[in-house]
Each structure stands twice: as structure tokens, then as C-alpha cells.
Amino acid sequence: MVEFAHMSLVERIARVLAGEALSSNANGIDPSAGDEVDRTWREHIPEALAVLHVIREPDQAAAAAGDAEAWQRMVEASIASAE
């Protein structure tokens, strides 16, 4: 099992996107896609960055729940660390 707490947000998102594309539990055909996800997740970095770009400004519910400026700084830091 992959330990997500030690991965960047970009890697986490890219791995989810790779799993979505490959795993038969999602839109893929591989019943055990873990090794292939490990091998190909980097191909999904552009899409992961796109996700972070779109969520860097919180929606109203997220902004109401906490510090919107801190959220934006955290997401922008994740983007910067990958670019």
C-alpha cells in the first residue's frame, strides 16, 4: 500500500487519475492496476496540475469553513513545487 502522507498533492492527484484510467474498479480494465499506476502516474502530472489550478480558489462552502487565503497559498505552493 502506498503511503500518501509523504507524497506531494500533485503526485497524489496524478496517481488517482492514473488509477481511474487503468483500474477495472473505475474506467480501466486492469483488475490489479497498482503496479501500472506506479509506473505511469507521472504521465498524469499535467492533469493533476490542472486540477490544482482550478481548485486554488475555494468555492463558497470551503471559504465559509476556513481561511480562504490560507487555502489559496497552500494550493499555490503545491503547484509551485511541481512546476
Bridge partners (DSSP) listed for residue 23: 30
Query: Would you state the cell numbers that stand for residue 1, as one nine-digit string?
Result: 500500500
Residue spans per domain, the chain: 7-82
How high is the mean pLDDT of the chain?
Answer: 91
Q: What is the pLDDT of residue 2?
A: 58
Helix H segments across 23-67?
34-40, 45-55, 60-65
pTM of the predicted model as reported, rounded to 2 decimal places = 0.85
Nearest CA to 2 among 39, 42, 12? 12
Confidence band for 78, pLDDT divided at 50, 70 and 90: very high
Distance CA(23)–CA(29), nearest Å, equals 6
State percent of the chain over pLDDT 90. 72
Do 48 and 13 touch, CB atoms closer than 8 A? yes
